[in-house]
Structure 1
Amino acid sequence: MASDQFYESDGSDSSATLDNEPDDEMVNVESAQSYKNIIDLTSGVESPSAPGNSLSISSQGQSSTFEGGHDEQGSQGSNAAVPQILDLTEDRDVFTAGNYLTDERLSVLLQDLNRIEHSPPPPVNENQSRDAIVIPEVTISGRVFKPGKSVELLDGKFLRIATVLLNNGEYFLRGQHFVRLVQMGTQFPQWENDLCWVLKETTDGVPLPSDDVAIGQVRQFRTIHLTNSRNVIIDGNGTQGAGYHRRRDLFCRLKEVYVSEVEVAIHYLTPSECDNGFVVSTRLLRAAWRGNTQPFGSDSKPREGFPREVIDVDSGSSAPYSDQFVVDLTQPDYQIRLAKNWRRYTFGDGFCGAGGVSCGAEQADLSVKWAFDKDPNAASTYRLNFPRAICETAEVFDFLTNRPRDIRVDVSHGSPPCQPFSPAHTVNCSNDDANSACVFSCWNLVRRVRSRIHTMEETFGLLERHKLTFNGILHDFLENGFSVRYKVSNCMDYGIPQSRRRLVIIAAGPGDVLPPLPKPTHGPPGSDLLPYRTVRMCISNIPPDTPDHDVQGALSRGLRSGPKAPFNSNSLARTVTCGGGELNYHPSGQRRYTNRELASLQTFPLSHKFGQKEVKKQIGNAVPPLLSKAIFREIIKSLQRTDEAE
């Protein structure tokens, strides 16, 4: 967290606090658990290997050179008269006044910077030997290679051994692959002593095998600690969080799961993925981030159809429902089920527009608490549909002047204006700089409202055409302890009758699991999914007297260039934009869509009201409610699983 202050321990500190904003609650880490020291790893600088301190080993025709130092048990490598292998991973380019770039070189450099910055996925070994024999361990020149040990490779990457293999007289290692954060993209925190666990998965979440590594590719043994904390925490009692470490030790907190260039997850390790002695309680992490958290949601308002009394199933007596409802874990099944029914996670909608995201959030069963938008017409529409929520007509930084406790929510969303990043945006306008700045305000929003989960929805052009901006957004979240997942999704896969590609980002705060993105619900014939929704399905049953559905007015205005050829209404519509959409017209070919038809193509319910001005613009700028509903349903399931487990 950007505002957190950690102190390197000298053995005398007994507590640490998180220095939040002046209005925020001060959370004392020690009050949650009796941790004695918090050690800053980001300031540690590795000590260089001593010259000549290396070990040469050989086995069945193979030879490897290990730079000396210590293995995981702390044993000292023996000296050998072999050339020292230099670690080039720490080199830094130095730019002096005499350096310059030609126009051609500058063009190449800009093309390089414009590529998606992420670590390349570990090479997939499509030909792992079926004849390889798994052996418990192998000893070469006094060095023992066995599962659990970690090694640095000649290419500067790292491996934690899971399996030792013997194949045709040669030894191979198989296990987890790691890359230094400083060698990853700009979206990653640049922590010198930190690694990232990198792996590749299929779209179904099945891990793909990585290359086996020949022992000849090993440079030296290293100690790597896997932890779910930004800083290793050592308990003075030697229990949770305890762990001895040296300055040369490396740490892994992040894991990048690569599916494709448009689908990646980067998350902090879960407790089950951490080493013994380096696990931090998820409750402690969450408490340090946001203070007290009410399980199953901060809203105590009961849903329709549920009793307003709490009944004691043992005695049969009842008591009035209390806002201070407490989950009694002595009867876990009943109490957890009751809490799920009586509590809801609260939701805040930044840059809310006409309320497409809030509409889907409410359908998913979130309790909408607040919203803001600088457009007075959009804010007016929002208030018509969410009278119980507070909606401010304000810029984001004006909204953030509210007291933190008044705007704190469990789940937050921000869809800043995306026009500067859209592939359709070809001409600069006066609002581009202000709209671009709004994208970087999302972390300020999250930091203020202290949400457990934050979501963003943007044009896919942000990822494909503005990588540095996109990586800056991810960096803000990752550096402050949030896990992130992103994917370019097509709205038609979720019941929206448009081929509309959108970038969806989900960020999970400290102590919370990163929710998955929803799986497609609609697909082509033979996919075992619901069929794609069509124009006909969405607009054929709109009652004639529905507001914003003036068919006669649309007919009288016709089309700008005259009637067009009719098309089959059992097909997808063109993308709905703030102007209605290029060549987007009614299947009859005689008129444009009415505003209500456009809203239906965006999956707004017929009950959704719109104001008097700029209705078409509000509809085109909206996030389709069915897309947000699918996203928030997965988020609610994930939060409930976390709260139930704790």
Structure 2
Amino acid sequence: MIDLTEEAADTLEPIAIDLTVTDARNLPVGYLVINKVLIQGTCYEKGDFVEVMHTTLGSQAVDFIRLEFIAENSHRQRLLRGVPYTRTRQLKGEMQMKLNEVCLLYYIDQSAESKDPVLVGVDENLVVRKRHLIVTNAPKPDHNPASTSQGGKRHQIKRHGPLVCRWTKKLYFTMRGRTMKINEVAFARMRSSDCSHVGYRVQESKLRGEWRGSQPVRQAPNPFHKYTLFDAFCGAGGVSRGADMAGFDVVHAMDKNDRACETYRLNFPGTKLHQMTVHDFIVSAGHIRTDVLHLSPPCQPFSPAHTHESIHDDENMDAFLGSCQLIDKIRPRMVTLEETFGIGFDRHRNYLRAVISHLTYRGYSVRWRPRFRLCTWGCAQDRERLVMIAAGPGEELPYFPKASHSETGGGGTKPFTSFGQAIAGISSRDDHHNIRALGTFPMPRMPLDASRLVKTITTSSSELYHPSGRRVLSVRELACLQGFPHHHRFVGTRTDIRRQIGNAFPPNTVKVLYRHLKKCLMREDGLLPMAGGVEDYEGVIRIEDDLPVTGRLVIDLT
């Protein structure tokens, strides 16, 4: 059984209560594996693609399973278990709702010893019929007869026509008691290597060229090779600074805020800065192509701290949705997005789904962590953000970089960057660090533990002060806590600059992310050898048309 108990109103992805996740080799008492079973005159065996009814995986409807094994007890009760699939119309708007288009579901328990995807168990009375599955990486509507059908034929095709799978939804979770906590979600487009039949394969280079209109130049490895970045909603340049430190060429940026743009020009004089709204840029800009597009649209409407409507809410919402138009305009090979984790709350989730839907509609694979702790990439704050990576048609979807920092260090990681470490080494000669001008508190405050992380820096950060408890933090200290290097300069009043710092994606964490993305792009372009393996949490299953898929974990819905 799965008890679907929801958390409080403001939750991230739906939370399922899972009571029966077990190893697939552990059959219910009294059951034995059998090779075949006859159900209503049809023979079913391992590898068959089977339509089922009234079946769910947590809150996700399951419409089909690829049969993995069959078990029977002495009373001739049969249980079928397999890898789950769903129709794309069941994905809550995150993918186009097209007839007979299906999506493979991988639910991977990161807290389990086995990292194989979860299987679904169903009673034989929930079996509807066998179906034929086509696995392809071709764009819609190729290989789908339903795309040209009309009227009554559509109903017949829905019931009996071939099904087409172009996507996998991967959901990584950990169990906390009986509660499933979602850590990461991905929609990955099938690669040509996933398609067992040659007729359903399309070369990745062709898909990439059809989308971008050009091909990456294959050349000998070059240590000075630089990929290009468009930094949208760039603010004071947090992403540009981190990407620059990672070896990217920041060629375009866009923002409309006057003070932030002054700061940006001071730090990146060689970057073409478009000081305008996203709408004005879409209308006025010419042909632009970069390898990567970063999006940090205004987050205030989605912030958990945003409890009252603002006169800027509509404008900020328009800017957020304008991000989709930017993707169409630039057509990057990869997209990164950073946003407040509040966008995953119930009242805002449709905005997140709108971006995901747009990306998948354009053929982008997308991966996101709904509540990612940036301290695991070196940030000195316990700062949580939604972070997303998307890879365009023909591109491999990267994993997230592994953690560089952890609570205690070890396992190849460093201990979290502490408050004291982040502000150490600042010189009185550094900009924005005139301690005498700051003065001291009339009454000293409680000293802070400089060996720990700082709470999240906001655009005001009025409650944060120096660990000594004697004074406020200088602007330079705030910038260092946000991951800016000492040489990054700022323009404006103290209030202006605190807002610029608080709105930034910490450059030191961006550096970790973009170094990783650079390696992924270089591997894709043949400039580096392919990685020798995959992330240790990824269950790897080769997807074959009408061939079995292995797996060990089971959610039994009987």
Pairwise TM-score range, normalised by the shorter structure = 0.7 to 0.9
Pairwise CA distance, 1:211: 2.8
Pairwise CA distance, 1:166: 5.3
The residue matched to 2:118 in structure 1 has which SS?
coil
Is 1:494 matched up with 2:374? no
* CA spacing shift, 1:532–1:399, aligned 2, 3 Å: same
Is 1:462 matched up with 2:358? no
* CA spacing shift, 1:118–1:444, aligned 2, 3 Å: farther
RMSD of the alignment, in Å?
Answer: 2.9
AA at the equivalent of 2:119: S
Is 1:609 matched up with 2:489? yes
Pairwise CA distance, 1:130: 3.3
The residue matched to 2:360 in structure 1 has which SS?
helix
Unaligned runs of 5+ in 1: 1-110, 235-244, 296-325, 328-334
Specify which of 128, 143, 150 is matched with residue 219 of structure 1.
Answer: 128
In the superposition, the TM-score normalised over structure 1's length comes to 0.69
Higher RCO (Cα < 8 Å, 6 or more apart): 2
| Cα separation, 2, equivalents of 1:192 and 1:625 | 44
Pairwise CA distance, 1:371: 0.3
Specify which of 139, 153, 164 is matched with residue 230 of structure 1.
Answer: 139
Pairwise CA distance, 1:167: 5.7
Match of 2:465 in 1: 585
Question: Quick check: 1:453–1:508 contact (8 Å CA) kept in 2?
Answer: yes
Report matched runs for 1:467-478 at 5 Å: 467-478=349-360
Pairwise CA distance, 1:261: 3.4
Is 1:187 matched up with 2:94? yes
* CA spacing shift, 1:278–1:133, aligned 2, 3 Å: farther
Specify which of 178, 191, 213 is matched with residue 270 of structure 1.
Answer: 191
Report matched runs for 1:618-637 at 5 Å: 618-637=500-519
Pairwise CA distance, 1:628: 1.3
Name the structure with the higher strand share. Answer: 2
The residue matched to 2:290 in structure 1 has which SS?
coil
AA at the equivalent of 1:517: F
| Cα separation, 2, equivalents of 1:425 and 1:136 | 58
Specify which of 256, 260, 276 is matched with residue 374 of structure 1.
Answer: 256
Specify which of 218, 239, 257 is matched with residue 170 of structure 2.
Answer: 257
* CA spacing shift, 1:404–1:634, aligned 2, 3 Å: farther
The residue matched to 1:473 in structure 2 has which SS?
helix
AA at the equivalent of 1:187: E
Question: Quick check: 1:224–1:252 contact (8 Å CA) kept in 2?
Answer: yes
Pairwise CA distance, 1:115: 6.3
| Cα separation, 1, equivalents of 2:193 and 2:475 | 51
Which shifted more, 271-280 or 600-609?
Answer: 271-280
Question: Quick check: 2:364–2:390 contact (8 Å CA) kept in 1?
Answer: yes
Question: Quick check: 1:121–1:198 contact (8 Å CA) kept in 2?
Answer: no
Is 1:126 matched up with 2:22? yes
Question: Quick check: 1:484–1:507 contact (8 Å CA) kept in 2?
Answer: yes
Is 1:548 matched up with 2:432? yes
Match of 1:294 in 2: 216
| Cα separation, 2, equivalents of 1:293 and 1:197 | 30
Match of 2:201 in 1: 279
| Cα separation, 1, equivalents of 2:122 and 2:42 | 17
% identity of equivalent residues: 33
| Cα separation, 1, equivalents of 2:254 and 2:376 | 29
| CA shift digits 1:21-72 (9 cap, x unpaired) | xxxxxxxxxxxxxxxxxxxxxxxxxxxxxxxxxxxxxxxxxxxxxxxxxxxx
| Cα separation, 2, equivalents of 1:223 and 1:609 | 61
Instruction: Tell me how many residue pairs correspond in the alignment.
Output: 483
Question: Quick check: 2:15–2:182 contact (8 Å CA) kept in 1?
Answer: no
Question: Quick check: 1:599–1:619 contact (8 Å CA) kept in 2?
Answer: yes
Question: Quick check: 2:242–2:511 contact (8 Å CA) kept in 1?
Answer: yes
| Cα separation, 1, equivalents of 2:9 and 2:165 | 26
Is 1:443 matched up with 2:307? no
Unaligned runs of 5+ in 2: 1-6, 56-62, 144-155, 173-180, 531-558
Pairwise CA distance, 1:140: 5.6
Pairwise CA distance, 1:187: 2.1
The residue matched to 1:176 in structure 2 has which SS?
strand
* CA spacing shift, 1:252–1:420, aligned 2, 3 Å: same
| Cα separation, 1, equivalents of 2:426 and 2:486 | 8
| CA shift digits 1:57-102 (9 cap, x unpaired) | xxxxxxxxxxxxxxxxxxxxxxxxxxxxxxxxxxxxxxxxxxxxxx
| Cα separation, 2, equivalents of 1:419 and 1:229 | 39
| Cα separation, 2, equivalents of 1:116 and 1:496 | 23
Question: Quick check: 1:119–1:184 contact (8 Å CA) kept in 2?
Answer: no
Is 1:641 matched up with 2:523? yes
Question: Quick check: 1:117–1:187 contact (8 Å CA) kept in 2?
Answer: no
Specify the structure having the higher radius of gyration (Cα). 1
| Cα separation, 2, equivalents of 1:203 and 1:254 | 21
